[in-house]
Amino acid sequence: MLYFKEENDRLVCQLCSYYCKLKPNQTGICGVNKNTGDKIECLVYGHIGAINIDPIEKKPLYHFLPKTKSLSLGTVGCNFKCSFCQNHGMSQEKNIDKSKYHSPQDVVNIARKYKCESISYTYNEPTIFYPYAKDIAIEAKKYGIKNVYVSNGFESSEVIDDMKGLIDAVNIDLKCFNDKYYKKNLGGNLNQVLENLKHFKRNGIWVEVTTLLVPTKNDSKEELESIARFIKEELDEFTPWHISSFHPDYKDLDLPRTSFESLKLAHDIGKDFGLKYVYIGNIGFDNNTHCPKCNEIVLKRNRFEVLENSVKNGKCPKCNYELEGVYPKMKSIRKTGFCGSFYPESKEEILSYIDDFNKNFEVNGTFDTKAMIVPHAGYVYSGFTANIAYNICKDKKPKRVIVIGPTHNVYYEKASVALYDEYETPFGNIEIDKKYSQELIEKYDVLGFNEELHLEHSTETQAPFIKHYFPDAQIIEMIYGKVDFKALSEVIDEFLEDEENLILISTDLSHFHTQEKANKLDNICLNAIAKKDMEMFDEGCEACGKIGVKAIIYSAIKKNYNSKVLHYCTSYNKTKDASRVVGYTSALIGN
């Protein structure tokens, strides 16, 4: 949208419903949007006055992603002048601290770093910095982060329409039901706030309403009934109404705190008018959410803390009623299938293995690793060999680790990319980059998703190492069947273009030969890897992950990368049985 329009010799600001008509160098009522000659500039763009990580319940939003974190930020300035403002140090401030600048990308990176599922524009009136909030919201959407407005409800109709698809939820302060009080003491006007509440609803934005009960100002029975009636008749009976307690602040220091009797009166009025979700906030009163159908407690709270959350995919667990609001979907998990067999069940036991592995080797030289070849047998057999590669790369900080391994049990003529949300390990779950995985499937014909393949030890045995050595990385799991190595190499080529990717090729070598024959066959593979000799792979090399190994070496040739074999052993090292062994190696690809 255009944030301003021309009208004669002035520019009209279109951020809020004041529609300030500004002459050159004039600033609007908010104090932060200025006619600079050819445009209206948002002076607080990038200049944050406060930023915190809050529970979403603090906004307050009780029916929007409960028990999640929201990165909350605001600037200075406001288009209202509430005498009881509890954030007056920001909202009524006009001096802008420009010593620090936070780009929209900076803000989203903070939200991602601290795993916030939403960003809330709050503390002061966010409508006055909508150009900044919008750019943050656009960036946040790329990462699945939702956006929340905590507002006085005096947006322009143009902004509310522009919010559609960007802003996911709003909490609007319906401060009273007296137009004279709005105009004289607060700002704006009641009718516009009421119309905007309906506008938000029409645009499909989740709405919750808050009323701060200020003694003698807006706490009469008649006024509270008018608010409850409006919510019920003009919004709907399922719109949550938060009734908050006033404490003396700013210019209203002589007023008493809101009595519990007044809060309870408002609560009961809301219930009597048929509102299903009425909450008394910020005093520790019963803030539980009850199912409107069976009255089961589905969310139990103490102030802003969710003590119990029994909502399942947005539904009551008792009667399956679909609760009003926006609720997180249950995350799909790539469950472990070989924990306790190929590797230990406990984190402590795995760490003990890794500690022992790291006592018995030294690293010489440096290597800029793009990809690793690692074995996938039980840790007692091949863990030491795999750990060498992981340890050498432990200082890398990949954004995502792509683990590619063969299927051992399911016939498939493609490579399957896991489309779960998380990957289970004894060290805690790893986030799967689901968006990236989906984009890969859409781009390459050789890729698909077949859930049956993703109970596979060739990739799963790598997950604990990945979580231990690269704790902040996301994971991509790719399991291939009968595919052409050149087709797989094309996908790997794309992975190698991104410096934030680390590729793992999972394979064991020859299976169940004598130690002497295994050494002979495996030596062919080791030389093919070390010399990047594609023809040599077909001269007797045996490996269950041969397709993946050939694909990465083929890509290494195209990229002019080097290869380095780190270690080779067989199961004989553990079993001392030379009649039937399996071979293992680890290697690095890079520069």
pLDDT tens figures, 219-278: 999 999 999 999 999 999 999 999 999 999 999 899 999 999 999 999 999 999 999 999
Q: How far is CA 359 from the centre of its chain?
A: 38
- State residue 93's pLDDT score: 93
Q: Check if the beta carbon of residue 211 is closer than 8 Å to that of residue 218.
A: yes
Q: In which residue are the tokens 């600048």 written?
A: 101
What's the rounded Cα separation, in Å, for the pair 53 and 74? 12
Which DSSP state fits 325?
Answer: S
> Could you give the residue ranges of the DSSP H alpha helices within 409-535?
434-443, 457-460, 463-469, 485-497, 515-531
What is the pTM (predicted TM-score) of this model?
Answer: 0.67
- State residue 265's pLDDT score: 96
Q: Cis omega before residue 60 (within 30°)?
A: yes
- State residue 226's pLDDT score: 98
Number of C-alpha atoms within 13 angstroms, CB side, residue 448? 13
With residue 572 as reference, give the H or E element that holds it.
helix 572-575
What's the rounded Cα separation, in Å, for the pair 298 and 106? 36
Pairing of strands 21-22, 422-423: unpaired
Which DSSP state fits 87?
Answer: T
The pair of three-digit structure tokens given for residue 328, joined into one six-digit string: 């997180």
Pairing of strands 581-590, 562-570: antiparallel
Strand, coil or helix: 105: helix
Q: Round the average pLDDT of the chain to a whole number and report it.
A: 96
- State residue 143's pLDDT score: 85
What is the full DSSP assignment across 166-184? T--EEEEE---S-HHHIII
pLDDT tens figures, 363-417: 666 789 999 999 999 999 999 999 999 999 999 999 999 999 999 999 999 999 9
Strand partners, 502: 401
Terminal-residue alpha carbon distance, the chain: 48
Q: Check if the beta carbon of residue 525 is closer than 8 Å to that of residue 373.
A: no
- State residue 71's pLDDT score: 98
- Low-confidence stretches of the chain (pLDDT < 70) are 363-365
Q: How far is CA 142 from the centre of its chain?
A: 10
Q: Check if the beta carbon of residue 31 is closer than 8 Å to that of residue 19.
A: no
Number of C-alpha atoms within 13 angstroms, CB side, residue 580? 1
- State residue 364's pLDDT score: 67
What's the rounded Cα separation, in Å, for the pair 249 and 591? 63
Q: At residue 456, what is the residue type?
A: E
Q: At residue 409, what is the residue type?
A: N
